[in-house]
Structure 1
Amino acid sequence: MLARVTAVAVSVALAATATPALAEADSRADLPSAIVSMGDSFISGEAGRWRGNGLTHYPGSRWGTDLAAYDCNSGESWCYHDPARVYGASYDNGCHRSDVAEITHVPSVTVGGVSYPVAPENRVNLACSGATTEAIDTTPFKDPTTQADQLATLAETRRIRLITVSVGGNDIDFAGIIFGCVAAFTEGSSEHCMTTYGPELPARVLTMADNIRRAVGSIRTVMRDAGYADGDYRLVLQSYPAPIPASAENRYVATDWSRWNEGGCPFYDDDSDWAHDTVLPLIAEAIEGVTGADTGTEFLELRHAFDGHEVCAKGVTQATEDNTLKNPLPMAESEWIRWIGVPYLSQGQEQEYAHPNRYGQLALGRCLSALAAATATTHTCEGPA
């Protein structure tokens, strides 16, 4: 089974003093049900352009991995490319809301024991690549208004049943940490990133948790101002899936440059283990600490959702010249994370690195779908058995 969701805690009352549900309380009872994603690149759909990784210089379909490719020659060694085919209008401002973002895969949601179908056009993605918690409620980022302001507008025209949020990574500059690890490896530094960033990380994460709590409060305020009771919809915070495996599960030898120029995972073993076994759990625990009865939020644990499918993981591979857009490398055999900085290979944009690719977003969508169908308030999504 691709993703198994385990209920870890039974449902708790989200609002003991909630006012009557919207279905009974106001004139919006006939509005279509909607679900919404908010936050950063891990939920906006960044890297959704890529269906796995393909190590080729040809500016074609990149062995069937580049979904921005079209009007290719017969061998797909040359194609036109238009990232807007995947990211739509959000390609222009860099939000990169892809057509396969997590929220697009959720067909229904259960609220108060009732299952509500959600049409594709009502699965709304407000997230933006690079966003911090401030982009949700205080400072517009790439878009003209904050995500909370966009939510307020949507709440007037749709019956919002579920809001899921992925945010916090940019508050602690997780991308800076990742690229610090990359720089240490590619420059042959004796000072590894776990030493550089490790001491300051706990304080960053504590601040991040406070920021997330503030943003959650702002979302609640927007919905209450729009006439929603807290129990009229579900509010979910999710953690982050691991982009790289622990060192023992990396198929490339750490002392070999192939880890960089073939695999696209240029990390020392100790930095890999630190990121996988310390950084991600620390972030996840902080996010989970914001959830619960006091904030009325649910938690979706995603750390292990890509187990065995991280970039450079053993047991999976990259596409080859035998693969094409019509004959792609299957999901079960592929990496679900966009690789990082293969030198001299011009493919896509740097901001796509280390994000869930098209297959990864499908996996996350299945995790969220399982949560939406369940009633428990804490959920763990695990990778393939």
Structure 2
Amino acid sequence: MARRSSRGSADDESEYAKVREEAETTKIRYSASKVAAVVGLHEFGNPVEDFMEILYQDLEELLEIDAKLLGMKVVSKYNEMKSLIQKSGARKILNDIVKWTHDKSTTARVGKANSLSRDAINHINAARKRKRLTEDEAKLLQESITTKVRQSVGKRNENLALQMYEAQNGLQVESTNDKFYFLLFPHPKQAKAVASSSSPPQCSCYEAKRMEDLIERFEMDKNSDGPAPQGHYFSICGMIDGVADVLTIDDDDVWSTERILVEVKNRMARFKNPTPLHDCIQMAVYMKMIGVRQGDMVQCLHHDKTVIQVARVSLDEYPLSSSAGQCPRRCSTDLWTSVIVPRLYEYSGAIYKLRGQDMRRLAFLQAAPDEQLKILRDLVSFV
């Protein structure tokens, strides 16, 4: 395939010419829940899969052309799951489990959800042993179904957790699930220009902080048909569970109210203590979106009775207050400015570069998984 393209196939060039402008102008949009994985701070992340998903985000035609040239077929995750269920020989049982995940009207007990996940795993393993599924197919199907079960629990039990949080803390949570929130990041040249214009020359921490000043917030109704924001280098998008106003007291014993983020995480087995770093990073993104400094992480377990555990997460406290290293000028930075934002820029630069390099992108797409990871590590330093 590489040799054929290197000869400058007119048909190939014609195909790419149709989507060249779209590939060059389509901006990256990260999901808030994916940021920790993208910047290499999520222990359960899949670097190659995440990169591939963002590489072709909103560029379905480019993916179709690449796949066609490589003799590959583009299949959605959902259709792939359906095909593997059919192939497994346990179609009825596995389809019933998937159907359970589509229920949005009733709460989901963790015991029931875990039982369904175990049933799915057992039937998939049996299909693998009978050679109906390969090792890779069994792993993929297992991940697909158990992820759907876990996500279903989260969606169905969110209001239950918020109601208990309100009752235990005497607070009223204002739901914000009807809006999309965006952080719009400027082109890196903008921050460099601002930093270089200062006298005397400043350190990289100064540049990172100036970049923070240039990040814009934007929100839109979930059902809005309005235009998406333009003119940015990349964006982060997310939906927030809720906000609440809490009483605070300062050093002079003066009381006031402060708005905080309220984020729910429905757990499948146990509470996680301390709050996992990837959850803290997701909360940091949400806090940046709505302009607050603190939030309550509400972990929920729904068995025969519902139990919640609340932990306060702050931009000014560990782990979000930690930095990547000591600045020679002893500047104070945090995880956001010293790690998360710089890595998002590096990652975005790699995506944009590969979108414009057809041969290298094709080589990545057709490579074996271990080779894909090697290529990715050549593109992104922290993978």
Specify the TM-score bucket, using the shorter chain as the normaliser: under 0.3
Structure that is richer in helix per residue: 2
Q: Which has the higher strand share?
A: 2
Instruction: Name which structure has the greater RCO, CA cutoff 8 Å, separation 6+.
Output: 1
Larger Rg: 1 or 2? 2
Q: Could you tell me the TM-score, scaled by structure 2's length?
A: 0.24
Report the TM-score when normalising by structure 1.
0.24
